[in-house]
Amino acid sequence: MRILFVSSIIPYPPVRGDKLRIYNIIKQFNRYHELKIISFVKNEEEKRNAKNFKKAGYNLTTVNLPRITGIFNLFRMVINKDPLQVSFHYSKKMASIIQQETRQNNYDIVYFHLFTVAQYCRSVKNPYSIKVFDMTDATALYLQRYLEIIRNPIKKFFVKFELARIRLYEHIIKIFDVTYVCSMVDLNYLRTRIPLINIRHFTNGVDTDYFQVEKQTYKKHRIIFVGSLPYYPNTDAVLFFAKEVFPKIKISFPDAEFYIIGSNPPEEVKSLASESIFVTGFVEDIKKEYLVSEVNVAPIRFGAGIQNKIIESLSLGIPTVSSKLAVESFDEEIKKFIFTAETADEYANMVSKIFNNSSIRDSMMIECIRLIKEKMTWEKLVNTENIYLESLVEERKKTKLNNKID
């Protein structure tokens, strides 16, 4: 098949959730099909990332979208009802390139990644191309949950304003042949709001070529949190754990250490650094950080989708303590290997339980590793959707042939 990918982000390096997902999907599809990727670049760092992505052998075309242009685009919100993030990513050049590509090339599939580029589905000029929308998360569900914890009235007003626009804009799903989300919770939420749409559960996976279990001596009482820290649910989780949970753990385990690992930590996270709290920023080998830790934590209090930090840690057999919200998207047979908590006391008790029982890691997590490899590898997940999309393409080809005959 010939597939055109359109994304608002450069899928490289795969260092955060949205990049990680599209990078691995492209990587797997590239093994079987002819691919072209079109993406925005917004700054010099993204331009360097684009060059490295091209060097890796991918056919990439970029469209410049400087921050000042995106901000200027927000004035469009005065005359239309598009959400802020959709208006920011408006580009005549992007629309023109997609029109030209789909007019001149016979793409079987045009795959739009993320909510911000769904607007360009109207630029596809080949009526027989299958239009795919990888929404990943239900954005409205994310903002709805965010509203529940906001205390600042001004921020609350603007989030409500954006949420109202997103709920209207979500109906763009109806234009696509298939929409993907990575969580059954998100899928059910969208089906309730927008009936009669073709939406499929395409969960996130793990790259088992990289995340292979190795014999590694872990450090007792070492706790790890992994995540992109500009993403506010991660910042909130880290602040909650460091300020409300970790002091309780230190009472029983004074040598406990908490490692916060993720790119671009904001000042409020950097300020947490102490003799026992380490804010590392980006690290080259995230697998090593997991393996030398005794416990992984994911105290996410709002958000949507599925947590890569949990999939990765489970694939390596690292016990994880998480909020119930963060594990709601996992299969029941995998959920039983994740320890859940809600209050600061519950988190402290669960971490202490793991500290006091080495058999959890040594025996219980072995079965979990097997299950992740069986059900959640990127190769397996993408192959399932590859078969499905090939069937849609074949049906569309039959339709095209019948139209010619008629």
Residues 116 and 39 in one domain: yes
Model confidence, pTM: 0.90
Query: CATH no. for residue 340?
Result: 3.40.50.2000
Residue whose C-alpha is closest to residue 240's, from 258, 262, 219, 222: 258
216 or 270: which leads in pLDDT: 270
290 and 160 both lie in a single domain: no
- Domain match, 382 and 343 both: no
Which of helix, strand or coil describes residue 328?
coil
Let me know whether 163 and 245 are in one domain.
Answer: no
Mean pLDDT to the nearest integer, 128-152: 91
The residue among 170, 380, 154, 341 whose CA lies nearest residue 244 is: 341
The answer to whether residue 215 is domain-embedded is no
pLDDT tens by residue, 12-27: 988 777 899 999 999 9
How far, in Å, CA of 320 to CA of 317, rounded?
9
pLDDT at 216 over 80: no
* Same-domain pairing of 180 and 299: no
Cα separation, 223 vs 83, in Å, equals: 38
Same domain membership, residue 81 and residue 46: yes
In this structure, the answer to whether residues 282 and 397 fall within a common structural domain is no
- Res 406: pLDDT: 59
Same structural domain for residues 164 and 313? no
**How far is Cα 182 from Cα 310, in angstroms, rounded to an integer?**
14
Whether 275 is covered by a domain: the verdict is yes
Q: Is the pLDDT of residue 353 over 70?
A: yes
Residue 278 has pLDDT above 90, yes or no: yes
The answer to the question of residue 333 being in a domain is yes
Would 216 be classed as within a structural domain?
no
Instruction: Count Cβ atoms below 10 Å from residue 215 Cβ, excluding itself.
Output: 5
pLDDT recorded at residue 405: 66
Q: Check pLDDT > 80 for residue 206.
A: yes
Mean pLDDT score, 214-239 = 91
- Band of residue 397 on the pLDDT scale cut at 50, 70, 90: confident
pLDDT in tens, 105-134: 999 999 999 999 999 999 999 999 999 999
The model's pLDDT over 283-324, given as tens digits with 9 standing for 90+, comes to 989 999 999 999 999 999 988 777 888 999 999 999 999 999
**Residue 114 belongs to a domain:** yes
- In terms of residue numbers, what domain contains 284? 222-375
Residue 191 included in any domain:
yes
Do residues 322 and 270 share a domain? Answer: yes
User: Is 213 part of a structural domain of the chain?
Assistant: no
Q: Do residues 34 and 52 share a domain?
A: yes
The enclosing H or E element of 394 equals helix 378-405
135 and 33 assigned to the same domain: yes
Q: Is the pLDDT of residue 58 over 70?
A: yes
**Mean pLDDT computed over 319-345:** 92
Instruction: Give domain status of residue 283, yes or no.
Output: yes
In the chain, the number of structural domains is 2
Q: Are residues 52 and 157 in the same domain?
A: yes
Q: What's residue 260's pLDDT?
A: 97
